[in-house]
Amino acid sequence: MDAANWVHLCVDMQRLFAEDTPWQVHWMTEVSEPVVEVSSRFPERTVFTRFIPPSSPYEMPGMWQRYYEKWPMMTSAHLVPEMINLVPALARLVPPARIFDKSTYSPWITGRLHAMLSRQDIGALVVTGGETDVCVLAATLGAIDLGYKVTLLKDAVCSGSDPTHDATLELLGSRFSVQLEITSTDAWLSGLSRA
C-alpha cells in the first residue's frame, strides 16, 4: 500500500451499537482492541462514520419508513443523544481523526465522502467496524465501485450474526479478490512497516 494515499475508514463504532440497545452488537467489544490500535496509530488518517437515525420514520424515503416503524425506539427522538457518539476509546481521537455522519448503510450515497477523499488523492481504504454484513458490506462494495483498493481487517469487523458475518467475509474474499484484500490487523501492520 502506498504510504501516502490511504485512509482508515472505521464504520459505525458507536455507543448505540456497543451498549444495551435493541441494536447492540455484542462482538463490538471483542473487536475493539484492533480497531483502537489502528485508529490510535493513525488518527490523522482515520475517518469514523456514524449512523444517524432520523427523529421520525417519515423523515426518510421509501422503505426506510417501514424500517423505523419497526425500530421507533431507535429514532433520535427517543434515543439519548449521547448514544450517537463514538465509543469513548475512539471519540478521544477526534481530532485529528474525522467524523463522517450518514443516514444510510452506505457512506457513499451523498457523494460527500468520495469528494473529500478525492481531494486528498486517496486511492486505498483500510476498513474496520460494524456490522460486517450491513454497513461494512455497504461501505466496502461502494468503495470497490468507486475504484478504491480496499483492505478489510477481518479481526476488526463484527456483526450481531455469526453466520452472516462469516458468509460476508467468504463472499467478499471469493468474489472481489482483485479489488479487495482480507487480512488480519497484525499482518496488515507488519506489511505496512515493511513497505
Sorting pLDDT into bands at 50, 70 and 90, what band is 192? confident
pTM of the model: 0.95
> What are the pLDDT digits (tens) for 57-69?
999 999 999 999 9
Q: Which residue has cell 452506505?
A: 106
Query: Chain centroid to CA 32: how far?
Result: 13
CATH architecture of the domain formed by 6-52+84-194: 3-Layer(aba) Sandwich (3.40)
Residues 90-124: tens digit of each pLDDT: 999 999 999 999 999 999 999 999 999 999 999 99
Burial 80-107 (b: 16+ CB within 10 A, else e): eeebbbbbeebeebeeebbbbebeebbb
- What pLDDT digit, counting tens, does each position of 12-60 carry? 999 999 999 999 999 999 999 999 999 999 999 999 999 999 999 999 9
What does the domain layout of the chain look like in residue ranges? 6-52+84-194
What is the number of other CB atoms lying within 10 angstroms of the CB of residue 17? 23
